[in-house]
Amino acid sequence: MPGAEWAVNARPGDIAGALGPGGGGVPDATSMILAGDETALPAISRMAAEIPAGTRLRIFLEVDSPSEELPLVSAGIVDLTWMHRNGAPAGTLGLVEGAIRNALADADGDTFVWAGCERSEAKRIRDFLKTERGHDRHRMSIGAYWER
């Protein structure tokens, strides 16, 4: 990838540019669950920053350790949980899936669920929402951000 090749050869003082944040709009919901690993952090940060005041957000972020935690800005009512792998390989512990399952145990059917994570975990989350929970497909967006 061009970005990775540039990073390998970068030297102090080289100029870097970035575009973004990209992405779509923010779901029209008064209650949302946003969950993902570090690959989803930019999208989750953007949505948290753009939601209207008063929106309830339960955010679950999987990272390796507390040193990877970042502040999130939001006008919403945010309940943020950082989940640490503590050296385990990314996408192997099912932390994002488990967080969504647990969070939905006491959530109503109007809660919008958004997740971005490893492909097989995203599939399990999608299957859970559609098959086990019968969650409205218009009230969810589950993305496979990468594959092991």
Question: How do residues 89-138 score in pLDDT, each as one tens digit?
Answer: 999 999 999 999 999 998 877 899 999 999 999 999 999 999 999 999 99
Backbone angles phi, psi at 108, to 5 degrees: -85, 170
Assigned token pair, 56: 């309830």
Question: How do residues 26-76 score in pLDDT, each as one tens digit?
Answer: 888 999 999 999 999 999 999 999 999 999 999 999 999 999 999 999 999
pLDDT of residue 16: 76
**Residue 27 DSSP one-character state:** -
CB 102 within 8 A of CB 22: no
Complete edge-to-edge strand list for the sheet that includes strand 56-63: 77-84, 56-63, 31-37, 112-118, 140-146
**CATH (one of 3.40.50.80, 3.40.720.10, 3.40.1550.10, 3.90.580.10) for 29-146:** 3.40.50.80
Does the CA dihedral 91-119-99-20 come out positive or negative?
positive
